[in-house]
Structure 1
């Protein structure tokens, strides 16, 4: 007689689990397509859209701000997650479940890059943001895995690991845009 299988969650819900994410892959994912490219290619984009340098800076700002907030809270008393609003639940499903960012949404002001940024500044800032997350990982995990939160502007309170997952999904989204901008 065949053994009964335990029911599994649908794939979209499986994707929303808290599996560790490879934050260390971000430099290759984001900067890899830009290696060896002229500065002009970093600073050229379609009208009304960000350039590759601005995309890299946008990612850097998000990495840096979230890492700094977690590190500033490392000695904070244990926290509990606030209840998610319906909009936060939907955003979480889109981003963590479908890995999709609805078009037309503007980036939060604190992560909007300046109108002009050069390659060297964007690249250095991005690498510093990745390093900051390496420090968050070393400093806060596993001890603060489930009792330290930072609010995401669309998804509400997220843990360290959820933020790491977000940064990887977000970087993949923007890496596609970078490849399109440079013709890959």
Structure 2
């Protein structure tokens, strides 16, 4: 396991692909949520089954995305507020075999049925939609540390959610059992 160096400049430039203005950022977020949610029914027949050893099941992927969404919603709300920011530990993310590992606290459990995750999913989506609607006029000098991107602002944290949703939507599609079909996400790939 290695520590990844924050990708400050290149990472945040990559995120602008997910919208340059607050309205574009919000629209890209909506599209990414729609694509991820549209893929969920395709995985119900193998929801709790890992596609390969060491890989997460669709339920675990979805729970991880949910945990990240809940966490980021709190961070963006903090960045958009007048609450003073406290310097916390800037712990770089970990990688294994070139793949980013989920930070502690953002790893899924053994897997829950979609019916158990859906209420939390919808609540976190509503919170993210609410904070994304408030991005106009955000103080972009207010930043919070991301383990792989370094200090980023409210716009980039919201863009990161879009990137993360798209990444894991592709992961779900790639992890389909042989012979299964799923709708491929349309549009630009992250």
Q: Same fold (TM over 0.5)?
A: yes
Partner of 2:36: 30
Unaligned runs of 5+ in 2: 1-10, 183-190
Partner of 1:109: 104
Cα displacement string for residues 109-147 of structure 1 (whole angstroms, at most 9, x for unaligned residues): 1211112222123333333222211111234x2232413
Partner of 1:94: none
8 Å Cα contact 2:60-2:109 kept in structure 1: yes
Matches within 5 A, 1:76-155: 76-77=83-84, 103-139=98-134, 141-155=135-149
CA-CA distance at 1:31 after TM superposition: 1.9
8 Å Cα contact 2:36-2:169 kept in structure 1: yes
Provide the C-alpha distance between the structure 1 equivalents of 2:77 and 2:145, rounded to a whole number of angstroms.
Answer: 14
Provide the C-alpha distance between the structure 2 equivalents of 1:16 and 1:47, rounded to a whole number of angstroms.
Answer: 31
Q: Determine which of 43, 64, 72 is the counterpart of 1:66.
A: 72
CA-CA distance at 1:72 after TM superposition: 3.8
TM-score normalised by structure 2 residue count: 0.67
8 Å Cα contact 1:60-1:129 kept in structure 2: yes
Partner of 2:165: 171
Unaligned runs of 5+ in 1: 1-11, 89-101
8 Å Cα contact 2:70-2:124 kept in structure 1: yes
Partner of 1:95: none
Tell me how many residue pairs correspond in the alignment.
158
CA-CA distance at 1:71 after TM superposition: 2.0
Q: 1:13 to 1:154 in 2, by over 3 A?
A: closer
